[in-house]
Amino acid sequence: MFKGFRQFILRGNVVDLAVGVIMGAAFGNVVSALVKDLLTPIIAAAVGQPDFSAIVFTVHGSKFPIGDFINVFISFVLIAIAVYFFVVLPVNSLTARLRRGEPAPDPTTKKCQECLSDVPIAARRCAHCAQPLV
């Protein structure tokens, strides 16, 4: 019984998932700190108010605290901006740089001269118009 449990725990994908969750939580803290400590004060300097939680409107005696929603929405947008510009964009440019020296992959299809449909390279006739291929 314990042997099977040990194999399950030490299986590669369980350990990889655990490491991914831990790294994701740590990265989430870094991004949250970036937004809270750097980006939010920039918005506060531009707008003049760093916290919108006091914004409330009332309809028939019911309070709608939309300021909290505004705070969470702004935080979400800032986190998305931070992740895109500080993670996604640099990683994409790095992978593009690494792929510059690689040759283009061999094509797997060719165009039929008659109907312009994509046909596998090894085909001798077009599947759409039955035209013999050269």
2-102 adopts what CATH topology? 1.10.1200
Q: Is 40 a residue whose pLDDT tops 80?
A: no
Looking at beta carbons, which pairs linking 82-90 to residues 24 or more positions away fall under 8 Å?
82/31, 82/34, 82/35, 82/39, 83/31, 86/34
Q: Which residue has the tokens 């909290």?
A: 68
pLDDT at position 62: 92
Taking residues 65-88, report their average pLDDT.
Answer: 84
pTM: predicted TM-score of the whole model, two decimal places: 0.51
* pLDDT tens profile 91-113: 889 888 888 877 878 888 999 98
* pLDDT tens profile 4-17: 877 777 776 777 78
Distance CA 113, CA 124 (A): 13
For the chain, the domains span 2-102, 106-134
> If pLDDT is split at 50, 70 and 90, which confidence band does 43 have?
confident
Taking residues 33-40, report their average pLDDT.
Answer: 79
105 vs 89, which has greater pLDDT?
89
Q: Of the candidates 26, 114, 117, 40, which has an alpha carbon nearest to the alpha carbon of residue 72? A: 40
pLDDT at position 12: 67
Taking residues 48-59, report their average pLDDT.
Answer: 81
% of residues, the chain, pLDDT over 90: 11
Task: Note whether 124 and 130 are within 8 A (CB).
Answer: no
Burial class of residue 112 in the structure, from the number of CB atoms within 10 Å of its CB (0-12 exposed, 13-18 middle, 19+ buried) = buried
Apex 29 CA angle, 23 and 34, nearest 5:
125
Distance CA 100, CA 35 (A): 34
